[in-house]
Amino acid sequence: MTPVLDVRGLTFSYPDGHRALDGVDLHVHRGERVALLGPNGAGKTTLVLHLNGILGCGGGGTGTGSVTVSGLDVTKANLKEVRRRVGIVFQDPDDQLFMGSVRQDVAFGPANLGLKGEALERRVMHALDLVGMADYADRPPHHLSFGQRRRVAVATVLAMEPEILVLDEPSSNLDPASRRELADILRSLDVTVLMVTHDLPYALELCPRALVLSGGRVAEDGPTHALLTDDALMRAHRLELPFGFDPRTVAPPTNPIDNLPR
């Protein structure tokens, strides 16, 4: 199967000379939910910004290697389609919500692709239904709670019908109920997920597979449960579990993608 996301030999140095990525190789297949773990400074954000061409396509800095999305190279010539296929939900939903109503925010992307009228309205309401926010379509985003705004931010990306949903710290600043509600939504979506997170219990709950990025390279790639119960690995890459949480007491998550041929 052609990977939804295929990164090969990716390197990147910022203009000040800092080498943030040092030969990243990774692949994510359709239907997978994969956690991207690693300490601050590991290169996670730099990697994410390469996935839809914010970096690596004239965005400053220098690098080598390749990124493809379902076989389409991430290049300047393909940016419009790449950015439809790769939906990034940033850590702060207010970075993505800027219109006067929830409906307008969710409609913004598809409208820019040329969708109009009833087709646009169906797309918007379907995306809002997926995240449980259809009843809030006419509300101003700034009148919503933080958790609700995060769900609307997810809807703005889902409305583009992406092939992979990239989430940057999705559980940050959420209360326990909102955190659980978002987890339920993510489990229900029929979309490939790459989740960048420091929330290791959330990674274990949602992602059967995890990658550890360290020093600009993929240091480990394997079952999330196995990685989080490897004490030497955790220490080596500055990964720490919350006080009182023991992944050995939690059943490993499963994913139907595990049974598909690669």
Please check the confidence at residue 119 and state whether its pLDDT lies above 70: yes
Per-residue pLDDT band for 262 (boundaries 50, 70, 90) equals very low
| Mean of pLDDT values over 177-188 | 95
What's the confidence (pLDDT) of residue 257? 52
pLDDT in tens, 128-149: 999 999 999 999 999 999 999 9
Task: State the residue range of the domain holding 11.
Answer: 5-259
Q: What is the pLDDT of residue 87?
A: 94
Q: Is the pLDDT of residue 254 over 90?
A: no
The predicted structure's pLDDT at residue 251:
79
- What does the pLDDT read at residue 60? 72
Residue 116 in this model has a pLDDT that exceeds 50: yes
Provide the H-helix boundaries in the chain: 44-51, 79-85, 102-112, 117-130, 146-158, 176-188, 200-206, 224-228, 231-236
Q: Domain with 118 in it: what CATH number?
A: 3.40.50.300
Task: Give the DSSP H/E element, type plus range, for residue 36.
Answer: strand 33-37
Average pLDDT estimate for 69-96: 93
The sign of the torsion formed by the CA atoms of 26, 32, 38, 42 equals positive
Average pLDDT over residues 143-168: 96
Mean pLDDT of 110-119: 94
Q: Is 82 exposed, middle or buried (0-12, 13-18, 19+ CB in 10 A)?
A: buried
User: Is the distance from CB of 39 to CB of 239 less than 8 angstroms?
Assistant: yes
Q: If DSSP codes are grouped into helix, strand and coil, which group holds residue 194?
A: strand
Tokens representing 63 are: 């690098």
State percent of the chain over pLDDT 90: 87
Tally the domains of the chain.
1
- Tell me what pLDDT residue 1 has: 78
C-alpha to C-alpha distances, 47 to 199, 215, 228, nearest whole angstrom: 18, 12, 22
- Per-residue pLDDT at 261: 41
What is the C-alpha to C-alpha distance for residues 167 and 197, in angstroms, rounded to an integer? 8
Q: How confident is the model at residue 59 (pLDDT cuts 50, 70, 90)?
A: low
The pLDDT score that the predictor gives to residue 255 is 64
